[in-house]
Structure formats: structure tokens, C-alpha cells
Amino acid sequence: MPSLPGAVRTRDRDGGQIRIPVTAAAAVDPTDGDLARTAAKPKWSPEMRLCAAILGQAVLDVRRYPADSRRYREAHAWLWNDAESGVHAFPAICAQLGLDPVWIRARVVGPIPVRRWLHAARH
């Protein structure tokens, strides 16, 4: 089919992609289950996310660094200190997140990845 000079054919304009007509089947959102699951999860406040980040960093420092490093010693002292009081003390953070401090300490020395046990430790 001849075209006018300067006219752009639809196929050339969209990069040669074939347009698929929208049908009722295409209108179904495959992520509906994901949205329902996400809506059912409790939302973490910024304070809870900060507590989780502090705890996660301490666990990573204990597992990642050698025992004679400063970061290991500081994280280890923080994780095993029950006497310290304050908002960012280990027992207070565990209470804020609903975690058992004894369970956390037992898992720090084990081979369980942090992401897996952080969610499993919630009451």
C-alpha cells in the first residue's frame, strides 16, 4: 500500500511492536494476591525500622568482623549487655520489635542468615 511522502506508518512509529488488544483477561491484575498479602502485614513505624536496622547491623558486625576488631567488640558488648538502659539498648530494641533477646543471642553464633531469622523471631 503506497503511503504519502512524510507520513509515518504506525508500525514505524511504535518501533515495529505488535499491539495486543486489551481483553477482559488482560484486565486481571496478577499482583492482587501480593497487594492483599502486603495489606495484611503490619506496617512498621520509622522507629521500628530504625530498631531493626540497629539490631541487624550489630548482628552483621559480630558475624562479619574478626573477634579482635573494634566493630566486633562493640557489637558483641551491645548484644550481650542487659544492664544498659535506654531506648537503643539491646533489650529495649528487642522489646520494641517483639523479639526474644535470648533467642536472638543464640542465633547470632549459629549459621542462620539474618533475613531468615529476623522474621522468624517475631512473637
76-100 tens-digit pLDDT: 999 998 877 788 899 999 998 989 9
Which residue, 116, 95, 115, 117, is CA-closest to 106? 117
19 lies in some domain: no
71 lies in some domain: yes
38 lies in some domain: no
Range of the domain at 63: 46-120
N residues, the chain: 123
Number of domains observed in the structure of the chain: 1
pLDDT at site 10: 56
DSSP for residue 28: S
32 lies in some domain: no
- Give the CA angle between residues 78, 69, 72 to the nearest 5°: 25
Count Cβ neighbours within 10 Å for each residue of 57-77 and write b for 16 or more, e otherwise: ebbebbeebeeeeeebeebbe
CA distances from 78 to 28, 96, 118, 122 (A): 50, 16, 17, 20
36 lies in some domain: no
**pLDDT beyond 90 at 55:** yes
- The distance from CA 120 to its chain's CA centroid, rounded to whole angstroms, is 14
pTM over 0.95: no
18 lies in some domain: no
11 lies in some domain: no
Ranking 23-27, 51-55, 96-100 by mean pLDDT, the lowest is 23-27
Average pLDDT, the chain: 75
Per-residue confidence band for 61, with pLDDT thresholds at 50, 70 and 90: very high
